[in-house]
Structure 1
């Protein structure tokens, strides 16, 4: 599970990468430094992605709450 400290310490790389939390929730870190909350889920046998917003506007706690509502 992610912590707020780990999120704040994450640095951009040459290519985007994901920091996983739980149950499909992850933080996508882009090369330009943007950090976006996303949820990966399956519906009708197809993989889908739901976005919740950018960190720090959407905190870790709020992203987890949004994930529970979406599930």
Structure 2
């Protein structure tokens, strides 16, 4: 099983980094070119948390914006 590390277009299908590549393709050439890596363990998928700003409240925005809405920017967990 090979995993794409760069974008690969094969048989009219786009494979993105992290996608499993088909075994019927030129797997050895993709690995030699550095576009894919051999992987023996299953790919783990993770889900991202949705984050967005709180809905705008009427007020004076600093710095000024054309809409004069004040909102709270989401905090990042670092």
TM class by smaller structure? under 0.3
**Which of the two has greater strand per residue?**
1
Q: Give TM-score scaled by structure 2 length.
A: 0.21
The structure with higher relative contact order (CA 8 Å, sep 6+) is 2
The structure whose Rg is larger is 2
